[in-house]
Amino acid sequence: MVSKYDITDVSMYSEGTHMKNVSLKSGRGKKIDAISKSIERTTDLKTLSDFGTYAINECYIDLTLDKLREIDGDKDLQERYILNRAKFLEKGYTNIFIVKLRTDSRLDELDYEYLTSLLGWTMNDIYVMPTLEFENVSGAERYEIYDEFVTKMLDMKGRMIKISDLNVGVMIPSFYSRRRIANLFGLYEDVEHNFVAVDFNNQRIDSKPSGVTSTVRKYFDDKKEEKTFFYGVNVKPWPKATGLAGDPTDALDVHSIHLSFNATGPTHSNPRRIILSPGWDSLGRAFDPDDYSYHKMSDERIKSVYIDWMESNYRIELSPIFEENATKPSYAYVKRMNFQRANEELAHLSGAIRNSDSDALRNVISRMPEKMRRAI
């Protein structure tokens, strides 16, 4: 169940970057000690065999206020709703509930009680403050509503979750501006809050939220606090401008290590995409650790890697000619390969940070996209 988390074993590399690796330990002895991409719904046990032990298992719960009230009090409906949005909750991984609540109004007392009980549920390991999304609220009112929400949630946590030293994860909503960060953190001053989730809302990691990220990092630097864990929520892996048309595109989710992120979660929003006829490029993009980029699947070299990977991992033989495949390649398999290959590379970089391997780290710094460099 939800418990106190500890952050230890801080290793940093600050030569032109903000790379940092830490160990995050939650309840029941669960521990994450490498930078990683999170487990998501397309992941399976085969691709988890080597990397699941140190990857966050993100349970993304996207609710309207009406849906929240519908499942409140109906244990079976709640369980079905949650289990349909996450996998492997009972497999011993570090489960973190990331809750997005869509509302245009303030919550009542029963709403706060239910959200608190949801975050305290037996399968959640770390209490992370939910984020709010508004459709018909703008400007200063959004901040006012969210600040009130945080204050009441923290009060309800103290009343309902009887763990005296329970620390929390701060959520930075996507609408939050850099100038408001100090005020937001002020709401948490009475509770330890070194886990920070930044909601990118399907934006690139080097876009507007990066200014927020640098402000968050300064907040902890001013406190001389190195024991922090930054988590990217709903991160778009590659630049939107190039979409599926350009090739290759920077792997911005992997490059998030330069901004001190210790983990990034999957994309949840459904971006607008060009509708392609069935073929290799309809499968999305594949991460290539050789150049830290995502490539179209029609790239002959990438296609060959994928075909070999499918044979090695699933004993599925594929033809380079898409139409000749009886078992059609799928988007989910490409996502699984990306999870495996990205986490292999991030594990390597985590070890390099731990060992102060300057050659390996300078190599990845030299690949850093210019926009990411400017964000630092």
Per-residue pLDDT tens over the stretch 258-274: 999 999 999 886 654 55
pLDDT-based confidence at 316, cuts 50/70/90? very high
| Average pLDDT estimate for 184-191 | 96
The backbone torsions φ and ψ at residue 310, rounded to the nearest 5 degrees and listed phi first, read: -65, -40
Q: Is 83 or 33 the better-scoring residue by pLDDT?
A: 33
pLDDT-based confidence at 138, cuts 50/70/90? confident
CA-nearest of 336, 344, 233 to 286 is: 336
Per-residue pLDDT tens over the stretch 76-125: 888 888 888 888 988 889 999 999 999 988 899 999 999 999 999 888 99
pLDDT-based confidence at 150, cuts 50/70/90? very high
Lowest mean pLDDT among 1-10, 11-20, 262-271, 333-342: 262-271
Domains of the chain: residue spans and CATH: 6-275 (3.20.20)
% of the chain exceeding 90 in pLDDT? 65
User: So what's the pLDDT on residue 106?
Assistant: 87
Q: Which pTM was predicted?
A: 0.94
